Chain A
Amino acid sequence: MRSTQYIWLGVTFAFGILWVFIIQNLLFLNVFSALLGQDLNVFLPQVSSPSFTVLWFSCITALFIWIFITWNGKPRNGAEVRRMQPLWWISTILLVLLGWFYQLLFTVLIWQIQVTSPVEGSGVNYYPLPPGGWLLVMVFVVFNVLILFWLPTLLASPRTYRFVVPGAVRLLGGR
């Protein structure tokens, strides 16, 4: 791996933490609060943070598995390198689906299983997220996967896998 790739991996990793745990919450609180229901003091600590933290763990795990596989790969030719592209897409789609599932889990399912209500006095065993809020968190899941998986794999895929991530040839292919 090139020294610049180590730096990019570190930078994107740090930015991912900053994004998930600080910037995203600030955006929810200050920009998108109207879309996220009446009880942001419940949504942020009990719904949004845990679901995006689990997504962060999933993305970081997938990222390190990707780096491990590509770091240890000894592809004979370009065709073997390109065979990693479907794996990357499957990982990405899986992460997005998992992210959406985590939203459903922490917004609805976990409360249903525990038979409790996240908002006292609401009378429902789930967090009442408006349809606009659902759309917003689903878009944010995609955005999180881009920041936490696509960006570091784009900038830090090692050796001959350097350009295998979608967009790498276009963005990094010049000399």
Chain B
Amino acid sequence: MSLFAIGVGGSGAKCLEALCHLHACGLLQSGTGQPLRLGTFLVEPDQQSTLLARAQTAIVRYDKMRALLGNKAESFARGELRNYGTWSPLSTASGAISLDQVFPKAVLRTQASGLAALFDCLFPPEEQSAELDVGFRGRPPIGSAVMSRVSLASEAQTGQWQQMLSDIQAAAGAGEAPTIHLFGSVFGGTGASGVPTLGQMLKSWLGELGLTSVHVNASLLLPYFDFEGQGQEGTGVHAEARNFQLNTDAALQYLRSSGTTCFDHVYLIGSDIKARYGFSIGGRSQSNAAHVVELLAALGLRHSLQPVAEDAYAYVLSRAAPNQISWNDIPDNEAVGQGLSRGARFAVAWLNNFSLELDTAQKLSMGAFLSGAPWARQFFQPSGKATGTQGGRPSIRSTEELNLKSAIDAYSETLLQWLNQFSSNTGEGFNQELFTPSLLQRNPSYENALSRVVRGSARPTKEERQDMAEDIKVRMDKLSPKEIPHNGVAGLADTLWSLSF
């Protein structure tokens, strides 16, 4: 089964970042437990956005790691991912970066003077001339105007949508029931305008093609952050926190009246306790840390994989304690907790211990290295020869193995960064009982204690003294060859993944 995730705007990109990590943690599976194919597509006019770059980094690093892993893993990074890239709604407007370039007023006046007057009525001069290469500046009407010019029928023939739309068609044609899931905020500019518009376009396009088996769902983010400062006089049109509620009200009213024309199901997630981000108009300066709300939004896609009541439309979530979120507040917390816990513990153990061990192995003879690391002989040839294999085990110094190690390092660092951000960025007076942020960092100290990485009910029920990286090494060393189907760095990562929880 195929899933197609579309992240719209900065918050949408952050949701796709969360979704990529959920997929890596094996949390997007079919009913039979098989990992699903996930396609990702980012819609963002602000091509310099740090949030977009972060989502792309997570996707690209996971994709690269998977490509280098190939079929050499049984449980680690099983989920297939297809990156459809990034698309800007401004890219169809022949280089136009402001509303008055997208809808040239001179042309409007000569061809339809009434429309020109309406244009002036709807958009004040500063909105008409605002450069949109930093996004739609927190103004949904601007975004809606730009987005509504997109024709999916023509995009399906050429352009960046082409590959994804043809894959959706192919999946539906093959008898699958693919799901398209859109992510975005309803209180900003790009997401609020883009998600419903794109949802409606996709539904219409699917209807025209008779692809009724395709579900179109959305995770819509309600306000969950505030800005610490605000734009200066020269900033121009910009997103303002005081408009968030107004934008949200408008979006929810639209959903109530016309929601079913855009989506089959929606997941509405926000937070009464707001995270505080520094003000940014967009671009590279907008580096809002990841937030648990984005994880919950991504889990909406996971929820839609389970049988849902046809008449149900909107799903909401609540938490048990007013000032705290714990695993019990996470939907399907047992499976999700185990998956994320395994991912976090793997990333800490890999990046802060096993990877460092492999670095040390490059400076020692294999015999000397093995004398302190007997587990390594299960995956690498004990003779340590630079080329060739012995008993199927590659050399610990082989370039291929080191490339894969670097790819796993890079992805693990991204995963840790995301976990660290969302577990430390909770908002004032609000606690999380999910992870210990201080341990979710890369450090060269050969982290041994894994018991405190995860908090609460998702923490493995092992004694603290028995829950160390060294215990995993001992267990690796005891495995019989039959229990280690793959050798080299891939086999090591795969085994570590299995033993991490």
Contacts and interface: CB of A to CB of B under 8 A. Distances in A.
A54 B148 CA distance: 94
B370 A163 contact: yes
Given A74-B470, A77-B446, A164 B367 contact: no
Contact of A169 (B371, B393, B465, B473): B371
Contacts of B368: 82
Given A160-B477, A175-B378, A175-B391, A77 B353 contact: yes
B470 A169 contact: no
B353, B447, B474: most-surrounded residue (chain A CB, <10 A): B474
B84 interface: no
A78 B356 CA distance: 10
A163 B377 CA distance: 11
Size band of the B side of the interface? 20 to 34
B396 to A, nearest CB: 12
B87 interface: no
Contact of A77 (B357, B374, B377, B465): B357
Given A81-B372, A81-B373, A160-B373, A76 B474 contact: no
A169 B91 CA distance: 62
Nearest to B484: A175
A164 B360 CA distance: 16
A139 B97 CA distance: 90
B119 interface: no
Contacts of B478: 2
B448 interface: yes
B356 to A, nearest CB: 7
A163 B393 CA distance: 19
A174 B391 CA distance: 10
B468 interface: yes
A173 B377 contact: yes
Given A74-B470, A160-B473, A162-B477, A170 B367 contact: yes
A163 B391 CA distance: 20
Given A76-B446, A78-B357, A78-B360, A159 B474 contact: yes
Nearest to A83: B372
Nearest to B481: A175
Nearest to B447: A76
A78 B382 contact: no
B327 interface: no
Interface string A84-122: 010000000000000000000000000000000000000
A66 to B, nearest CB: 15
B14 to A, nearest CB: 35
Contacts of A169: 367, 370-371, 382
Contacts of A160: 372-375, 470, 473-474, 477
A39 interface: no
A117 to B, nearest CB: 50
Interface of A: 2, 74-82, 85, 159-160, 162-164, 168-170, 173-175
